[in-house]
């Protein structure tokens, strides 16, 4: 699978790990550190998938998601939300949308990649 993936997280250790892992799988990765940049870069680059932390400076990942839903160019981008908090605590904040998933931190990379393949069954693009 080759896709353009936007990662949004304010923890550079997490973005570094995810960037290295996804790049090694042949994906193109864009990294941002807050929800404001997430919405901006998603509109600019139109990635095939977004991987975002929920709690970040600027705007939370779920708030940035709401902004993306208002833009026809970004509303269909699949999103995987990440958090150290359990899903039961966050369920009210997250959208009930078939193109979204949740993964708890610390992220299991194999599980994450299975979710990516599920959301992008045909991959992204071929360079």
How are beta strands 28-32 and 100-104 bridged, if at all? Answer: unpaired
For the segment 49-80, what is each residue's pLDDT rounded down to a tens digit? Answer: 999 998 887 766 778 888 899 999 999 999 99
For the segment 78-90, what is each residue's pLDDT rounded down to a tens digit? Answer: 999 999 988 888 7
How are beta strands 49-53 and 79-83 bridged, if at all? Answer: parallel
Is pTM beyond 0.75? Reply is: yes
**105 contact partners, CB below 8 Å, separation of at least 6:** 14, 82, 83, 84
Q: Where are the beta strands (DSSP E) in the chain?
A: 4-8, 28-32, 49-53, 79-83, 100-104
CATH of domain 4-119: 3.40.50.2300
């Amino acid at each position: 699978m080759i896709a353009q993936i936007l990662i949004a997280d304010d923890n550079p250790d997490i973005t570094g790990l995810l960037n290295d892992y996804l790049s090694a799988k042949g994906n193109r990765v864009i990294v941002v550190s807050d929800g404001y940049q997430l919405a901006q870069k998603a509109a600019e680059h139109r990635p095939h998938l977004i991987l975002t932390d929920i709690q970040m400076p600027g705007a939370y990942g779920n708030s940035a998601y709401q902004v993306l839903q208002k833009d026809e160019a970004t509303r269909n981008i699949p999103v995987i939300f990440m958090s150290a908090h359990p899903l039961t605590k966050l369920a009210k904040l997250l959208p009930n949308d078939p193109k979204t998933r949740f993964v708890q931190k610390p992220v299991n990379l194999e599980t994450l990649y299975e979710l990516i393949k599920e959301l992008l069954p045909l991959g992204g693009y071929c360079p």
